[in-house]
């Protein structure tokens, strides 16, 4: 072992690594910083040569424009509502079923579980047409119910929770059973409290995928009553929509982008370790 700390080659290597580290950080952050900077610029300064990263005369006019002309608050509420309700539903439904698959013996359990797993590779995109017909046949198109319900058919949650439950020692349960606890009590008093990390991960994955979901809400919502943030932004501020087309009005568009992004980033910074664990546990986006 020759740890020559001040060897010239070693120093050169360190310098290169730090240059890469700083370069990667700047490249990753630049688009977000530029969005933020543009959002606070008055229309006359949005386009300037050379680009100004710090607005000369910051203004909130772009935010006022967005809040006045679009049902932004409503999109916000819809997104939060859909994400919270679908996460709650997924946690309850998945943990109940996962408990049965992990611990209880019933006829057909193997076949049923295999059937569920077989859908892991079937993406939402393949099912949107039948889903659309299903919800239109019960007159639920353009409702938040239609936006959020399909999330409950997810497979990842079942898989992760079943795996986790199976690794909880049986002795804990045996003790409870001797005391006369029912399966429901064991699920509630033992499995759920002991599985908090897995439950948090499943909750975060479900929340993110609902919060970001675009294609299905785009298909199923026609009005602000059920329009979520991604859909509102995609429909009104996209390249084909005109707002930012030939005569760019990027100030208001970036204000909307910032309003939609900031909360997510703040939540991410606070719950960072849970995010990372959720991502690595599931490795799943949708």
Instruction: Determine the Cα–Cα distance for residues 286 and 279; give it in Å rounded to an integer.
Output: 11
Instruction: Determine the Cα–Cα distance for residues 279 and 196; give it in Å rounded to an integer.
Output: 16
Residue 217 binding another protein, by CB under 8 A: no
Q: Which two tokens stand for residue 64?
A: 């006022």
Q: Which two tokens stand for residue 1?
A: 């072992």
- Write the interaction track for another protein spanning residues 54-83; mark x where CB under 8 A is met and - where it is not: ------------------------------
Instruction: Determine the Cα–Cα distance for residues 235 and 231; give it in Å rounded to an integer.
Output: 6
Say if CB 268 and CB 262 are below 8 A apart. Answer: no
- Write the interaction track for another protein spanning residues 219-258; mark x where CB under 8 A is met and - where it is not: x---------xxx-xx--xxxx---x---x-x--xx-xx-
Residue 97 binding another protein, by CB under 8 A: yes
Window 184-213: residues binding another protein (CB under 8 A) = 187, 194-195, 197-198, 208, 211-212
Stretch that binds another protein, among 4-12, 55-63, 65-73, 267-275 (CB under 8 A): 267-275
Window 36-55: residues binding another protein (CB under 8 A) = 38, 46-47, 49-51
Q: Which among 40, 64, 68, 66 has a CA at the least distance from the CA of 53?
A: 40
Residue 130 binding another protein, by CB under 8 A: yes
- Burial code (b: 16+ CB inside 10 Å, e: under 16) for 261-270 equals beeeeebeee
Residue 265 binding another protein, by CB under 8 A: yes
Q: Which among 170, 202, 215 has a CA at the least distance from the CA of 278?
A: 202
Nearer Cβ to another protein, position 61 or 168? 168
Window 141-170: residues binding another protein (CB under 8 A) = 149-150, 152-155, 158-160, 163-164, 166-170
């Amino acid at each position: 072992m020759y740890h020559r700390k001040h060897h010239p080659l070693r120093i050169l290597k360190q310098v290169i690594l730090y240059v890469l580290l700083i370069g990667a950080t700047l490249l990753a952050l630049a688009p977000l910083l530029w969005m933020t900077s543009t959002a606070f610029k008055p229309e006359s300064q949005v386009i300037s040569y050379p680009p100004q990263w710090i607005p000369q005369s910051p203004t909130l006019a772009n935010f006022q424009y967005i809040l006045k002309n679009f049902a932004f608050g409503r999109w916000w509420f819809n997104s939060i509502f859909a994400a919270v309700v679908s996460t709650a539903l997924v946690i309850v439904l998945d943990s109940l079923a996962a408990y049965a698959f992990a611990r209880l013996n019933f006829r057909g359990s193997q076949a049923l579980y295999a059937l569920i797993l077989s859908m892991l590779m079937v993406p939402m995109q393949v099912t949107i047409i039948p889903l659309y017909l299903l919800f239109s046949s019960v007159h639920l198109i353009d409702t938040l119910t239609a936006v959020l319900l399909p999330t409950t058919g997810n497979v990842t949650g079942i898989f992760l929770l079943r795996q986790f439950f199976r690794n909880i020692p049986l002795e804990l349960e045996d003790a409870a059973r001797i005391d006369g606890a029912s399966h429901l009590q064991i699920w509630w008093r033992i499995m759920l409290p002991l599985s908090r990390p897995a439950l948090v991960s499943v909750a975060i994955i479900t929340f993110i995928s609902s919060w970001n979901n675009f294609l299905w809400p785009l298909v199923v919502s026609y009005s602000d009553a059920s329009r979520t943030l991604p859909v509102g932004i995609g429909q009104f501020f996209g390249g084909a929509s005109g707002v930012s087309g030939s005569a760019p009005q990027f100030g208001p568009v970036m204000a909307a982008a910032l309003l939609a992004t900031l909360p997510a980033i703040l939540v991410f910074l606070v719950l960072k370790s849970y995010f990372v664990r959720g991502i690595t546990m599931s490795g799943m986006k949708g």
